[in-house]
Amino acid sequence: MDIVRPEFVPDASLSTAEMEALQRDIADVAVFSDDFTFDPDAVALGGPAGQQTLGEQGDEHAAGDRPLVAGVDQAFVGDRAVSAVVVLRGREVVERVWAVEPAEIPYVPGLLSFREGGAILSAFGALDCEPDVVFVDGSGRIHYREAGLATHIGVTLDVPAVGVAKNLLCGEPTESLDRKLPEGARVPIEADARVETSVASGAQRADGDAVDATEGTVIGYAVQSRQYESDSQYINPLVVSPGHRVSAETAADLVLATAAGYKLPEPTRLADSYADSVKGEL
């Protein structure tokens, strides 16, 4: 899979200000609406685990008609990032690859792509197939500058991308998430207000936890992909946001369509497992 926009390849040698400026350039190019040719209904896994003939049991989408859905996740071995990509068609794994690159900077909230992006792009470069959509373990538009890891990778490869994060980086849920949500529920996450402060040199924008998007814009959803039946415990929702060429609503739909009884959607769950396996070998 080729890089389409080489000017956006993460460069860990940039200063923090330069990284943030690049992210804003990426956000200007990113498309946070549906811009793809595959049928999103065909992304659903269809049938029980292990089923080989996905067109059976009333499933209107035959195996060959299903889009290619890639999941990508990372593991770390010392100061090296291990990126694993697993590509599914329905439940069938059609390809999996991995790559290792130095993690040249420490983890900094909001700058994850400059730590992990090189390994991810190297792994996608080893793919023979061209995924129709990519699920990234990280944020998309739910990011201070609307350019999280999923957006950075999606725009650089110009591929529809969905960010699937475990924690909320920024933005404001329209309802409290500190409670048990039913399986299948989704709570909109909106951009919140910026704080403007006057200083001697002029107006200074204080980022805090706010987002560049207009206040009130729905930038993603908290998605309850799985939930316990017991009232005494509950599973926290995933934080899902559009990366590139996918709307917030469709991103949530795709995650729920690929949940197979686990919290993580199947593409990223398998990528997570594969990354850990490669890490063990290394």
Does 234 have pLDDT greater than 80?
Answer: yes
Question: From CA 272, how far away is CA 84, in angstroms rounded?
Answer: 7
Residue 263 domain flag = yes
Model pLDDT, residue 230:
82
pTM of the model: 0.89
> What integer is the mean pLDDT of 230-242?
92
Asked if residue 224 lies in contact with residue 260, where contact means CB atoms within 8 angstroms, the answer is no
Model pLDDT, residue 206:
42
Residue 230 domain flag = no
Which regions of the chain does DSSP assign to beta strands (E)?
68-77, 80-89, 92-102, 133-136, 161-165, 172-173, 186-190, 195-199, 202-206, 218-223, 238-244
Ramachandran angles phi, psi of 148, nearest 5°: -75, -175
Does 39 have pLDDT greater than 60?
Answer: yes
Question: Given CA atoms 106, 112, 118, 124 in this order, what sign does their dihedral have?
Answer: positive
Residue 170 domain flag = no
Question: Given CA atoms 154, 156, 157, 159 in this order, what sign does their dihedral have?
Answer: positive
Residue with the bigger pLDDT between 201 and 232: it is: 232
Model pLDDT, residue 200:
34
Number of domains in the chain: 1
> What integer is the mean pLDDT of 53-82?
75
Question: CA 64 → CA 61, 88, 91, 244, distances in Å?
Answer: 8, 12, 12, 25
Residue 210 domain flag = no
Query: Range of 247's domain?
Result: 6-162+241-281
Question: CA 61 → CA 58, 81, 103, 260, distances in Å?
Answer: 9, 37, 41, 18
Residue 271 domain flag = yes
Question: Which residues are annotated as part of the binding site for Mg(2+)?
Answer: 73, 137
Structure tokens at 52: 């080989």
Model pLDDT, residue 45:
84
Residue 212 domain flag = no
For the chain, give the percent of residues with pLDDT over 70.
87
Angle between helices 149-157 and 112-125 (to 10 degrees): 40
Question: Which residues are annotated as part of the binding site?
Answer: 73, 137
**Alpha carbons within 13 A on the beta-carbon side of 139:** 25
Structure tokens at 87: 């590509």
Model pLDDT, residue 210:
75
> Residue 266's closest CA among 216, 223, 218, 225?
225
57: confidence class by pLDDT, cuts 50, 70, 90: very low
**Alpha carbons within 13 A on the beta-carbon side of 211:** 27
Question: From CA 124, how far away is CA 99, in angstroms rounded?
Answer: 9
Does 56 have pLDDT greater than 70?
Answer: no
Place of tokens 């469709």: 250
DSSP state of 25: H
Residue 182 domain flag = no
pLDDT in tens, 161-210: 999 999 999 999 999 999 999 999 999 999 986 543 333 333 333 444 67
Residue with the bigger pLDDT between 124 and 198: it is: 124
Q: What is the CATH number of the domain that holds 70?
A: 3.30.2170.10
Residue 140 domain flag = yes
Does 53 have pLDDT greater than 80?
Answer: no
